[in-house]
Structure 1
Amino acid sequence: MKDPKRYLVTAALPYANGLKHIGHLAGAYLPADIYVRYLKAAKKDVVFVCGSDEHGTAIPIQATKEGTTAKAIIDKYHPIIEQNFKDLGIAFDIYHRTSAPIHHETAQEFFTMLNSNGDLEIKESEQYYDEEAATFLADRYIKGTCPNCGYESAYGDQCEKCGKSLSPDELINPVSTLSGKVPVKKSTKHWYLPLDRHEAFLREWILKENGDNWRANVVGQCKSWIDGGLQPRAVTRDLDWGVKVPLPDAEGKVLYVWFDAPIGYISATKQWALDNDKDWKPYWQEKDTKLVHFIGKDNIVFHCIIFPVMLKLHGDILPDNVPANEFMNLEGDKMSTSRNWKLEMQDYIDDFINKENGGSQMADVLRYYLTQIAPETKDSEFMWKGFQDANNSELVSIFGNFVNRTFVLMHKLCGGKVPPLHAGSMDELDTAVIDAVAQSKQKITVLLEEYKFRDALFEVINLARTGNQYMQKKEPWIVAKQTGEDGKPVAEAQQLIDNCLHICLQLTANLAILIHPFLPFTAKKLCHMMKVVDKMLEWENAGSMQLLKTGYSLRAPELLFRKIEDAEITYQVEKLKNAAISRETVTMDTNAATTEETAIKPVKQEIVFDDFAKIDLRVGTIVSAEKVEKADKLLKLQVDLGFETRTIVSGIAMHFSPEEITGKQVTVVVNLAPRKMRGIESNGMILMAEDANGKLHFINPETAINAGSGVS
């Protein structure tokens, strides 16, 4: 589409059933944010929508695991995920919820229109039914052996081991996860979207109109689906959680989550329009709007085949592009929540984004590394060592080093002000750098428009590299030694110094603009150092060598990035491995969700009595508890140990509220070396046990005893 009048950018709605990991961040949200920040800097009319997907079986399944309700689950995780995105610089125009009334109304209206127009069909079918639980089983409530790879715990919709999409009928030896019993087939009525009616449209639209513009992985997966033969797809389910089907003969049925969730983009746009006194309709119904969906590859079929058919039938615009990313692995293995092999956004925030460890600069470090290794064309790998190298060797040694040297020399050799540019003293090196700035803007603009964010980021860093090389060749610190009798550089030398630092400062201003879509916190810090307003970050300013006025005083240099030490990386790798090992020690019987079975822990390396005797275990009483600011997993406890009251920071906030544990007696390791967590010194550790569902339990005496009593 040429010169769209407006943009509507969406990022896949994350399930509000738990914390999200950096694979999710890299797959859909970070690339979408980079693109939107570029569009807004270019003064485009753009709305960036996202929100929690709060329906589907994933929610009640998690509620069962945590022993609570589906409503409690979404109310718990929605604000945490929203805050995680904010902490990492993801700037949605609205982060909505599919539990909102406006979404239910929008989804029901959508269904009603398609049904009234004859675009849906009703079918009676035999579906799995759990007689003991007296309910039809959604795909995720059925487990069995995968027919593709033989994995014995595949779900009815997908095998998590080989990734193959499945239907419950394909499973070998299916069982209900509710009762552990073998389900029976029972007749039920549902509404279907007949995709087979739209095969000709999809072939024309995807393979011919967009085949050369979309990513090869997206087109390839769509072609495979179409060539395999499109079938009617159910749009309703027998569930009690979700958007109710708005028909009198559909009691006990809800809209299937894959049908209702993408409509969440529309309802979110409606809510944004209400909040900002705007009209939502042009963003979904006018042809001069460019709609772009950012997703992971597991959502390609929904956003490129199913949702476009829905939009076409509803009279809405179709997506201009769907730049789906592949998967991101972690330290040599696929990320997996069930196996605890993951790096959650919350964990990264807790460990790195605080005053002690670097604050928002560390959000930008993660953004940088995830963009550098973005799985745009194939699966990629997050390695903690690679993360460290990207920071130390590029952000610190190239980008940060250039900016710091420029500011230090400007203060030392030019009185802290932007020096003039002496045209008569310019040489080929000077003009080459000026040309490089203009060329970089052109390259980066094209790459961003083509959704090649990894390559675009490389060009920004390469421009900083060019600045370092230029300064090294000019050596203004050496030129400054050409002094007169007054000890100051002679006029000719000062002109060379002025030219070098003037160009370096203008280049720095350009770097702030060009890096802003990728590293927004860094760009704003550069604006602070240059004493300019954020308006300078507008894209039209990039390429100019007149962004900073001659004679303008600039602030003292501040380090943009800190070096990441080896010990920090070792800690993260060990933390990952230990978490995975800990998860393996407790398992749930996959054939009967009601039967909990705790795996036997491998016996650790043998110790002697003297080793154990070094550990001092005491009974303590929690006298007060409070949440640690900006750390959703941490509680700050005051624990009475009889001989003193200590502060202990414990990662139990996701399992207990401060109110319910105040007064509890606990077992404490009292001679553990103090450790700072979120700037708070923790003096001890609470011992906990974890059940098969991942819930923590206190290890405490059966009856109350004196605080400080020994445990042996």
Structure 2
Amino acid sequence: MDNSKIKRYTVTAALPYTNGPVHIGHLAGVYIPADIYARFLRSNRRDVKFVCGSDENGVPITLKAKREGITPQEVVDKYHKIIGDSFKEFGVSFDIYHRTSSLTHHQTASDFFENLYDKGVFTEEVTEQYYDEEAKQFLADRYITGTCPKCGNENAYGDQCENCGSTLNATDLINPKSTLSGNKPILKETKNWFLPLDKYEDQLRTYIESHKEWRPNVYGQCQSWLNAGLQPRAMTRDLDWGIKVPVKGAEGKVLYVWFDAPIGYISATKELCNYAKLDVWNPMAEEYYIRTVESDKCGWEEYWKEEDTKLVHFIGKDNIVFHCIIFPAVLMAHGGYILPDNVPANEFLNLEGQKISTSKNWAVWLNEYLRDFEGKQDVLRYVLTATAPETKDNDFTWKDFQARNNNELVAILGNFVNRVMVLTHKYFNGVVPTCMEITAQDQSVIDELALFPDKIAFSIENYRFREALSEVMNVARLGNKYLAETEPWKLIKTDEDRVRTILFVSLQICVNLQILMEPFMPFTSEKLMNMLQSGGHIWEEAGSAKLIKRGHKICEAALLFDKIEDAAIDFQIEKLNQSKATNALVTEVVPAKENINFDQFGEMDIRVATITAAVKVEKTKKLLKLTVNTGLDERTVVSGIAEHYKPEDIIGQQVSLLVNLAPREIKGIVSQGMILMAENAAGKLVFVAPTTNFDNGSVVR
């Protein structure tokens, strides 16, 4: 969109599920870049609404409630407060932090569904869906896990594989199981309402292809979906928690969370614009108890329906399809709404070389960070922006966090500001000195300073926040270089007027830093503003060398940052090590298979055997070719244990062998039997074998 035609901005950040606190992966992927962008727009006096809120519907909520033994309402109330308080303390400057349990949201989402229903957009289909016979419940996507058909991940969900990022249907999973009982679910007929995405494929393609400026991961994933051919997708679910489907014959069904969640941006904007003053809505209620009062001059529609509004969604890469395909299709079907102008989705952030896992507590939780590093919000904001996974997955380590604080924030940014403030107080009693003669050296610095605001703005407007932050730090580097070359602490003895000019220019750099760093490090910017007593400046003033006047009194110097010692970092690393140790002790018990009768068991002939030879199977990673003495004969067995045992280490190893398994050809080798192994939750394999030496051929009963 041509920036000259934009009158207002609607900036959204993905609604976090209220089933746990926010961690650094969420911050780096969504909330910090969104906040930088919104703060930058405000600094440029743009009309912007920055909206977010808790996603309080969906299966993750009910799963959390079952695990904690509390109600879904108690779960959302608990984590809405934790998340909201953490965002506020961290300085994420939402104009509103909403929640999808509000009456405004329930009514807005219901109205959307009814609009599409009345237009005949939905198709009503009876399909077979997974059902847990023991739990007596249809299974929503996240109630089913199994093996991903695309990458082989054994812990994929019924809607998505978090390992490869593929979007799935539950029936795509190999070896599906219910997360409620652990049993294999059955297929059972049920009726739901589907959004025929295939009918909007041409419109969506035209829309997507008009945004080739989107990040490659976003544009590429959208094209992949379109090229594969879009299929109808159910917009309702068989659940008892969520927004009830507002049509007859839909008892026991709620709106699909990815139908209602993006609409949460709209309902949040409504409440922000005084659409209604409401209490929290109980989704289990059978009717609305509070009357909506809408202002005639509410104004929310300007931010969602006017063509001169720019809509930007900040999300993680796992939400691309929902924000770029499904939600735009819903908006197209409804009519009257603008479509997202950009969806700058980040990749994933890993932690200490491993994927962040909430279930394994392998994460840095925001609420815990704020407790452990009091007053250091901007350090984390800085590090997560400097290492943001904008184009590829990246890694957060505590040692890098410490190094960036000590070697960059303290030694570069903090050092420059502190030296200028201290020298101004030491030589001129904290009063901005008069600028005397400007030398070529001074002018060169002033000219270079003037270039930074546009460079930083260009990077931010193109969603390159790492690049923009690097340029902010280059302003501090420019200041340090200027002081190092001019050495005012030496000149003061012989040329006080020269020192006046040097500190005057240096103070201008400080004021510029205060303006330019604000979107990235708002707490530090405010601290510096208070020291300089220079409030009220906006972005368009940055680049000037006349922002602070001679004779202006500044406050005493204070350190912007202090060093982080090894002990604080060691404590955080130890917390992660404890999580790793705990995870190693916790074994996920695989649910029992269906019962067999004794005769079936009796047909299995399991014998003690000894491995007499072992070699790797060429062009494979997992396979070993074993020669085993069964006491009956000597035979060949191919076993997938090469990643766990070296061939030379298992010669002479006794094993339990299923000897009457039908022969099978594997990689051109006829394998006669199967060695019994035990596997733990971490995937480690060990032999099931006698604890003392036993005769080959002994029967295992």
Q: TM-score, normalised by structure 1?
A: 0.79
Q: Residue 440 of structure 2 is aligned with which of 428, 437, 442?
A: 428
In the alignment, the residues of structure 1 paired with residue 592 and residue 223 of structure 2 have an alpha-carbon distance, to the nearest angstrom, of: 39
In the alignment, the residues of structure 1 paired with residue 100 and residue 592 of structure 2 have an alpha-carbon distance, to the nearest angstrom, of: 31
In the alignment, the residues of structure 1 paired with residue 317 and residue 194 of structure 2 have an alpha-carbon distance, to the nearest angstrom, of: 24
In the alignment, the residues of structure 1 paired with residue 170 and residue 393 of structure 2 have an alpha-carbon distance, to the nearest angstrom, of: 28
SS at match of 2:355: coil
In the alignment, the residues of structure 2 paired with residue 274 and residue 193 of structure 1 have an alpha-carbon distance, to the nearest angstrom, of: 31
| Conservation of the 8 A alpha-carbon contact between 1:176 and 1:592 | no
After TM superposition, give the deviation of residue 267 of structure 1 in Å. 0.4
| Conservation of the 8 A alpha-carbon contact between 1:176 and 1:591 | no
The reply on whether 1:274 has 2:274 as its aligned counterpart is yes
Q: Residue 475 of structure 1 is aligned with which of 487, 493, 497?
A: 487
Q: Residue 348 of structure 1 is aligned with which of 369, 372, 379?
A: 369
Residue 100 of structure 1 is matched in structure 2 by: 102
Residue 709 of structure 1 is matched in structure 2 by: none
Q: Residue 319 of structure 2 is aligned with which of 296, 299, 308?
A: 299
After TM superposition, give the deviation of residue 584 of structure 1 in Å. 3.3
After TM superposition, give the deviation of residue 592 of structure 1 in Å. 7.7
Q: Which amino acid aligns with 1:219?
A: Y
SS at match of 2:161: coil
The reply on whether 1:466 has 2:495 as its aligned counterpart is no
Residue 394 of structure 1 is matched in structure 2 by: 408
SS at match of 2:310: strand
Deviates more, 1:153-162 or 1:455-464: 153-162
The Cα offsets for residues 202-226 of structure 1, whole Å up to 9 and x where unpaired, read as: 211112x111x21111101101111
Deviates more, 1:382-391 or 1:504-513: 382-391
Q: Which amino acid aligns with 1:394?
A: E
After TM superposition, give the deviation of residue 160 of structure 1 in Å. 3.6
The Cα offsets for residues 198-253 of structure 1, whole Å up to 9 and x where unpaired, read as: 1111211112x111x21111101101111111000110000000000001111111
| Conservation of the 8 A alpha-carbon contact between 1:529 and 1:557 | yes
The Cα offsets for residues 469-521 of structure 1, whole Å up to 9 and x where unpaired, read as: 00111111111122xxxxxxxxxx12100110000001100000000000000
Residue 553 of structure 1 is matched in structure 2 by: 553
SS at match of 1:95: strand
SS at match of 1:47: strand
Residue 572 of structure 2 is matched in structure 1 by: 572
The Cα offsets for residues 278-318 of structure 1, whole Å up to 9 and x where unpaired, read as: 41011101100000000000001111111111112222000
In the alignment, the residues of structure 2 paired with residue 498 and residue 89 of structure 1 have an alpha-carbon distance, to the nearest angstrom, of: 37
| Conservation of the 8 A alpha-carbon contact between 1:192 and 1:234 | yes
Residue 649 of structure 1 is matched in structure 2 by: none
In the alignment, the residues of structure 2 paired with residue 254 and residue 76 of structure 1 have an alpha-carbon distance, to the nearest angstrom, of: 23
Residue 523 of structure 1 is matched in structure 2 by: 525
Residue 386 of structure 2 is matched in structure 1 by: 372
Residue 419 of structure 1 is matched in structure 2 by: 433
Residue 304 of structure 2 is matched in structure 1 by: 284
Deviates more, 1:192-201 or 1:179-188: 179-188
After TM superposition, give the deviation of residue 336 of structure 1 in Å. 0.7
Q: Residue 145 of structure 2 is aligned with which of 133, 143, 146?
A: 143
Residue 403 of structure 1 is matched in structure 2 by: 417
Residue 658 of structure 1 is matched in structure 2 by: none
Q: How does 1:435-514 map to 2 (within 5 A)?
A: 435-482=447-494, 493-514=495-516
After TM superposition, give the deviation of residue 148 of structure 1 in Å. 3.0
After TM superposition, give the deviation of residue 571 of structure 1 in Å. 1.9
| Conservation of the 8 A alpha-carbon contact between 1:177 and 1:591 | no
| Conservation of the 8 A alpha-carbon contact between 1:447 and 1:455 | yes
| Conservation of the 8 A alpha-carbon contact between 2:214 and 2:342 | yes
SS at match of 2:467: helix
In the alignment, the residues of structure 2 paired with residue 494 and residue 261 of structure 1 have an alpha-carbon distance, to the nearest angstrom, of: 64
In the alignment, the residues of structure 2 paired with residue 556 and residue 98 of structure 1 have an alpha-carbon distance, to the nearest angstrom, of: 47
Q: Which amino acid aligns with 1:325?
A: N
In the alignment, the residues of structure 1 paired with residue 523 and residue 155 of structure 2 have an alpha-carbon distance, to the nearest angstrom, of: 43
Residue 119 of structure 1 is matched in structure 2 by: 121
In the alignment, the residues of structure 1 paired with residue 401 and residue 447 of structure 2 have an alpha-carbon distance, to the nearest angstrom, of: 32
After TM superposition, give the deviation of residue 49 of structure 1 in Å. 0.3
In the alignment, the residues of structure 1 paired with residue 543 and residue 566 of structure 2 have an alpha-carbon distance, to the nearest angstrom, of: 38
The reply on whether 1:313 has 2:305 as its aligned counterpart is no
Q: Which amino acid aligns with 2:507?
A: L
Q: How does 1:631-646 map to 2 (within 5 A)?
A: none
Deviates more, 1:2-11 or 1:127-136: 127-136
| Conservation of the 8 A alpha-carbon contact between 1:56 and 1:241 | yes
| Conservation of the 8 A alpha-carbon contact between 1:293 and 1:322 | yes
Q: Which amino acid aligns with 2:467?
A: D
In the alignment, the residues of structure 1 paired with residue 248 and residue 169 of structure 2 have an alpha-carbon distance, to the nearest angstrom, of: 28
Q: Which amino acid aligns with 1:365?
A: V
CA gap of 1:130–1:405, structure 2 versus 1, over 3 A, is same
Q: Which amino acid aligns with 1:551?
A: G
Deviates more, 1:151-160 or 1:133-142: 151-160
| Conservation of the 8 A alpha-carbon contact between 1:177 and 1:590 | no
The reply on whether 1:63 has 2:82 as its aligned counterpart is no
| Conservation of the 8 A alpha-carbon contact between 1:339 and 1:584 | no
Q: How does 1:672-691 map to 2 (within 5 A)?
A: none
In the alignment, the residues of structure 2 paired with residue 145 and residue 478 of structure 1 have an alpha-carbon distance, to the nearest angstrom, of: 70
Structure 2, gaps ≥5 residues long: 277-294, 594-680, 682-701
| Conservation of the 8 A alpha-carbon contact between 2:511 and 2:534 | no
SS at match of 2:563: coil
Q: Which amino acid aligns with 1:452?
A: R
Residue 563 of structure 2 is matched in structure 1 by: 563
In the alignment, the residues of structure 1 paired with residue 250 and residue 521 of structure 2 have an alpha-carbon distance, to the nearest angstrom, of: 50
SS at match of 1:274: coil
Higher CA-based Rg: 2
SS at match of 2:242: coil
Q: TM-score, normalised by structure 2?
A: 0.80
In the alignment, the residues of structure 2 paired with residue 592 and residue 345 of structure 1 have an alpha-carbon distance, to the nearest angstrom, of: 38
SS at match of 2:181: coil
The Cα offsets for residues 355-386 of structure 1, whole Å up to 9 and x where unpaired, read as: xxxx1xx1000000000011111111101111
Q: How does 1:657-696 map to 2 (within 5 A)?
A: none
In the alignment, the residues of structure 2 paired with residue 215 and residue 62 of structure 1 have an alpha-carbon distance, to the nearest angstrom, of: 34
SS at match of 1:481: coil
| Conservation of the 8 A alpha-carbon contact between 2:302 and 2:309 | yes
In the alignment, the residues of structure 2 paired with residue 437 and residue 592 of structure 1 have an alpha-carbon distance, to the nearest angstrom, of: 69
Residue 704 of structure 1 is matched in structure 2 by: none
Residue 134 of structure 2 is matched in structure 1 by: 132
The Cα offsets for residues 157-176 of structure 1, whole Å up to 9 and x where unpaired, read as: 22344443322212222222
Residue 347 of structure 2 is matched in structure 1 by: 326
RMSD of the alignment, in Å?
1.6
SS at match of 1:578: helix
Q: Which amino acid aligns with 1:114?
A: L
The Cα offsets for residues 89-134 of structure 1, whole Å up to 9 and x where unpaired, read as: 1010000001111101000000000111122111111111122222
Q: Which amino acid aligns with 2:211?
A: N
Q: Which amino acid aligns with 1:573?
A: I
Q: How does 1:172-251 map to 2 (within 5 A)?
A: 172-207=174-209, 209-211=210-212, 213-251=213-251
SS at match of 1:80: helix
